[in-house]
C-alpha cells in the first residue's frame, strides 16, 4: 500500500437485524417486506428454517428484499427436518420458535455449530413445557423438539454466555397467551444486541418493558406485518473503518450514522480514542487517520465483541500496548476466538499475552504470513486487513466470509488507493 485511503463503502445489510426481522415477520399477522436485507449463509439458513416450517418467504436478491407471509404466531408445520447450518443466531432463534408449533421437529447443524452450547435454551424451553431431547451431547444440537405450544412462564436464565439465548426467547414472548417474563441470574454480555432485538420487535408492534437491568417483560398481543428497512451491518463496517486507521486517509461508511441501531457502531468510537478523527452524520460515519499515529490503551469490548478481532490486528501498529478486555465468552463462538487470535498474531511475530478475558498486544513489526481462519469468517476478514499494510500476507480458507459478507474481498480490493500498483 503506497498511499492513504480515500473510499466510500456501504456494507451489506446487517445479519443481526435481518435474522431478527425474519423471525418477527414470520410470526406477524400479514405479509411484511424487508428491504436492504443481507443475503449470506447465515440469513439463508434462517430463511431455510422458516420455509421448512411452512412459512412462505420470497426473495429478490438483486433488490435486496424479502417478502414474508406471517403465520400470526402459530407455526404451520407439525413436523419438519431443520438444518440451522453454521449459524448461531439461526440456531438460538429457531428452538424457541418451535415452541409455538404443535408437533415434532428434528434440528441439526454444522459440526462447528454442534460444538457450541445450547443448554440455556434447552433448559428454558423445558421450563415452558416443551419437550426437548439432545441426540448427541447434552445441551448441544442435534435435538428433537416436541411441542404442544409453550405455556407462559417466568424464566430465569444466565446472561453471561451469549445474548442470543435471551433474544431468541424474547421474540416468542408476544405470541404467548400472557406474554413472557425473563429474569437474568447474571450480568448480560453484548447488551446492545438485546436492545437491538427489542427495537426490531417494536417495529413489528411488540412491547418489551425493562423494570430493571436484569428483568424483561414481554406483553402479549403478537406482531403486526410491516415494511422494514435493514441498516448496513455494523460489524462488517468495522473492517473498512479499521483500514483507514491502519493505512491513513479517510473511509466513509454509508448507511450507519448517529441513528444506527447496532451496538457495534461504537467500534468507530474506539478508533477515536486511539487518535483517529470520527465524524458522524445522520446516515454515515467517516474515520480519518494519519498512518502510524495510533495510540495504545485498554478497551472493554464486552458489548462489541464481534469487532474485537478487528482491533486486535490494528494493535501491533499502535504506539503502545493494546489491552482488550471483557471478551472471555468469545471462546465459545464459532471457535475459541481468544486463542485463535493469539496464535495467528504470534505466527506473524507479534508479542501477545492471552488473558482469560482477552489479550494484551504489544507493538512491533508484522512479518509476512499465511493466516489460518479455522473456518471463522471474522478471522478471515480481520487478518486480511494486514495485507493492506504488510506485503506477503495470505489467508487460508478465504471462502468462509460467505457466512456474513459474500462481497468482502471485492470491498477490500476497492479500498486500495488509485496509486497502489499491486
Q: At a CB cut-off of 8 Å and minimum separation 6, what does 9 contact?
A: 240, 251, 252, 253, 254, 411, 414, 415
How far apart, in whole angstroms, are the C-alpha atoms of residue 99 and residue 155?
14
Coarse DSSP helix, strand, coil percentages of the chain, rounded to the nearest 5 percent = 35, 25, 40
Q: Check: CB of residue 237 under 8 Å from CB of residue 11.
A: yes
Q: Looking up cell 417483560, which residue turns up?
A: 217
CA-CA-CA-CA dihedral for 256, 257, 261, 265, to nearest 10:
70
How far apart, in whole angstroms, are the C-alpha atoms of residue 393 and residue 386?
7
Sign of the CA dihedral 354, 356, 358, 361?
A: negative
Q: Is 306 a catalytic residue?
A: yes
DSSP reduced 3-state for 1: coil
186: cell is 447474571
Of 42, 306, 375, 376, which is the active-site residue?
Answer: 306
Annotated catalytic residues are 306
Amino acid at each position: 500500500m503506497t498511499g492513504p485511503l480515500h473510499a466510500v463503502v456501504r456494507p451489506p445489510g446487517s445479519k443481526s437485524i435481518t435474522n431478527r426481522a425474519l423471525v418477527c415477520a414470520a410470526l406477524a399477522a400479514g405479509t411484511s417486506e424487508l428491504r436492504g436485507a443481507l443475503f449470506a449463509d447465515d440469513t439463508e439458513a434462517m430463511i431455510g428454517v422458516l420455509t421448512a416450517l411452512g412459512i412462505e418467504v420470497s426473495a429478490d436478491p438483486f433488490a435486496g428484499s424479502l417478502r414474508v407471509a406471517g403465520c400470526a404466531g402459530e407455526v404451520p408445520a407439525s413436523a419438519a427436518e431443520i438444518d440451522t447450518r453454521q449459524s448461531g443466531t439461526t440456531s438460538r432463534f429457531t428452538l424457541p420458535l418451535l415452541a409455538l408449533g404443535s408437533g415434532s421437529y428434528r434440528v441439526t447443524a454444522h459440526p462447528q455449530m454442534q460444538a457450541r452450547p445450547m443448554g440455556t435454551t434447552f433448559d428454558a424451553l423445558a421450563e415452558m413445557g416443551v419437550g426437548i431431547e439432545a441426540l448427541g451431547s447434552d445441551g448441544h444440537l442435534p435435538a428433537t423438539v416436541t411441542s404442544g405450544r409453550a405455556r407462559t412462564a417466568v424464566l430465569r436464565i444466565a446472561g453471561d454466555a451469549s445474548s442470543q439465548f435471551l433474544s431468541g426467547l424474547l421474540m416468542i414472548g408476544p405470541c404467548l397467551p400472557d406474554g413472557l417474563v425473563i429474569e437474568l441470574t447474571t450480568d448480560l454480555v453484548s447488551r446492545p444486541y438485546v436492545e437491538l432485538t427489542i427495537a426490531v420487535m417494536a417495529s413489528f408492534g411488540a412491547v418489551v418493558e425493562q423494570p430493571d437491568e436484569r428483568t424483561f417483560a414481554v406483553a402479549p398481543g403478537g406482531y403486526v406485518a410491516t415494511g422494514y428497512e435493514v441498516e448496513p451491518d455494523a460489524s462488517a463496517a468495522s473492517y473498512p473503518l479499521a483500514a483507514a486507521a491502519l493505512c491513513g486517509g479517510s473511509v466513509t461508511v454509508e448507511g450507519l450514522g448517529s441513528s444506527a441501531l447496532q451496538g457495534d457502531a461504537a467500534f468507530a468510537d474506539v478508533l477515536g480514542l486511539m487518535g483517529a478523527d470520527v465524524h458522524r452524520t445522520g446516515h454515515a460515519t467517516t474515520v480519518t487517520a494519519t498512518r502510524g499515529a495510533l495510540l495504545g490503551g485498554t478497551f472493554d469490548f464486552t458489548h462489541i465483541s464481534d469487532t474485537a478481532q478487528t482491533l486486535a490486528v490494528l494493535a501491533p501498529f499502535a504506539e503502545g500496548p493494546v489491552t482488550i478486555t471483557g471478551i472471555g465468552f468469545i471462546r465459545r463462538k464459532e471457535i475459541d476466538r481468544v486463542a485463535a487470535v493469539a496464535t495467528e498474531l504470534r505466527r506473524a511475530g507479534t508479542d501477545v499475552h492471552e488473558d482469560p478475558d482477552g489479550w494484551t498486544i504489544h507493538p512491533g513489526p508484522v512479518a509476512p504470513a499465511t493466516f489460518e481462519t479455522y473456518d471463522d469468517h471474522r478471522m478471515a476478514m480481520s487478518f486480511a486487513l494486514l495485507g493492506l499494510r504488510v506485503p506477503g500476507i495470505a489467508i487460508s480458507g478465504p471462502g468462509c466470509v460467505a457466512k456474513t459478507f459474500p462481497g468482502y474481498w471485492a470491498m477490500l480490493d476497492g479500498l486500495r488507493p488509485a496509486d497502489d500498483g499491486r
